[in-house]
């Protein structure tokens, strides 16, 4: 296999595993928040490096993320090639995928992770269905469904590394960002 294509196909394979894990069949899959872009309360514009680990494999990609009061836009790139684009305007989620990119990768799951990391805790809690809770400290958010831990988000290295663990679905996403950090306020942890 061509050396330049190997990382791309590895990315597709790992993301295919994640897509299979992220299918909404499990009862403890995180609920889709669908928060409005305006509820973020600030603008974001950053380049990030994202590492996805699933099934004993790992792949690293670059991500461009932009958000304002009207839309959230994200592009996933590897080796200078755009693999996927996503846009959420608060009403409609659109995505464009490169050929070979796993069709089953849910743009909703990607948007959900973004919102669990970047949106204010009050906006997230207001969108959670009955039986779901979100705990927050200065460096961690944990999404619970009853007694079951569904998503754990940790800030490390001064907030420049974000680790998103989906223990029930069997994958971890690690995001490195240099320009902006999520705001986790331990004093806001009053459900």
> How does pLDDT run along the chain (191 residues), one tens digit per residue?
444 433 433 344 444 444 444 444 455 678 889 999 999 999 999 999 999 999 999 989 999 999 999 999 999 998 888 989 999 999 999 999 888 777 656 678 888 999 999 999 999 999 999 999 999 999 999 999 999 999 999 998 887 899 999 999 999 999 999 888 888 876 665 55
DSSP 31: P
Q: Which of 171, 141, 186, 191 is nearest to 17 (CA)?
A: 171
Instruction: Centre a 10 Å sphere on the Cβ of residue 19 and count the other Cβ atoms it contains.
Output: 19
Which pLDDT value is given to residue 104?
59
**How far apart are the C-alpha atoms of 31 and 128, rounded to whole Å?**
7
- Model pTM? 0.81
d(CA 83, CA 81): 6
Of 1.10.3470, 2.60.40, 1.20.120, 2.50.20, the CATH number of 5-188 is 2.50.20
Distance CA 120, CA 130 (A): 19
Q: How far is CA 150 from the centre of its chain?
A: 14
- Please report, for the chain, the start and end positions of each structural domain, with discontinuous segments joined by +: 5-188
At 103 the pLDDT is 65
Q: Mention every residue, 6+ apart, whose C-beta is less than 8 A from residue 182.
A: 117, 118, 153, 155, 159, 162
Three-state DSSP class for residue 113: helix
């Amino acid at each position: 296999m061509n050396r330049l294509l190997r990382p791309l196909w590895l990315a597709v394979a790992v993301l295919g595993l994640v897509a299979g894990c992220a299918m909404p069949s499990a009862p403890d899959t995180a609920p889709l928040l669908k928060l409005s872009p305006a509820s973020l309360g600030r603008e974001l514009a950053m380049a990030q490096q994202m590492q996805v680990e699933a099934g004993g494999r790992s792949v690293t990609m670059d991500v461009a993320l932009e958000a304002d009061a009207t839309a959230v836009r994200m592009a996933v790139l590897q080796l200078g090639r755009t693999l996927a684009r996503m846009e959420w305007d608060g009403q409609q989620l659109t995505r464009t995928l490169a050929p070979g990119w796993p069709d089953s990768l849910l743009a909703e799951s990607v948007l959900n992770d973004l919102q669990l990391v970047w949106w204010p805790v009050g906006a997230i809690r207001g969108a959670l269905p009955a039986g779901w809770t979100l705990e927050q400290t200065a460096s961690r958010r944990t999404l619970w469904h009853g007694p079951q831990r569904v998503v754990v988000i940790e800030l490390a290295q001064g907030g420049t590394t974000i680790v998103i663990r989906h223990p029930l679905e069997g994958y971890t996403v690690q995001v490195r960002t240099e320009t902006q950090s999520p705001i986790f306020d331990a004093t806001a942890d009053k459900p």
